[in-house]
Amino acid sequence: MKKGFNNILKGTFLINEDAPKSWRMILFVSVLAIVMIASSHSADKKVHHIARLNNEAKELRSAFVDGRTRLMELKKETVVELKMEKKGLAISEIPPTKIKVKSQK
């Protein structure tokens, strides 16, 4: 056990007659490690992007609700009446009447 550990530390397993097998395995493990790291970084990027989009969607939803609330406030009859009084217009005292047109045959 001690001899095998010393061989690993000294690197003699890389230069003996079974070295090509060792190099292939080291290369394979290295490639797998690089692929795993790249995949992890890609997943982290996607998670951050999703979080950013969720925050943006919440902000846009909030702005939409705020705009809709202001619009409903502006559409109230009392608000419209006050704005029209400032411009010199008032609500008619006479109710509207229906005009009937007879066809000319």
pLDDT digit of tens for each residue in the chain (105 aa)? 777 778 777 777 677 777 777 788 889 999 999 999 999 999 999 999 999 999 999 999 999 999 999 999 999 988 998 999 999 888 888 988 999 988 887
Report if residue 97 sits inside a domain. no
Q: Give the per-residue pLDDT at 66.
A: 97
Report if residue 102 sits inside a domain. no
Q: Give the per-residue pLDDT at 39.
A: 97
**How is residue 92 written in tokens?**
């008619």
Domain total in the chain: 1
Report if residue 91 sits inside a domain. no
Q: Return d(Cα 66, Cα 71) in angstroms, integer.
A: 9
Q: Give the per-residue pLDDT at 72.
A: 95
Q: Return d(Cα 28, Cα 67) in angstroms, integer.
A: 58
Q: Give the per-residue pLDDT at 5.
A: 76
User: What pTM value is reported for the model?
Assistant: 0.57
Range of the domain at 20: 2-86
Please enumerate in sequence order all residues whose Cβ is within 8 A of that of 79, keeping only pairs 6 or more positions apart, or say none.
73
Report if residue 77 sits inside a domain. yes
Q: Is 82 helix (H, G, I), strand (E, B) or coil?
A: helix
**How is residue 5 written in tokens?**
């550990």
Report if residue 103 sits inside a domain. no
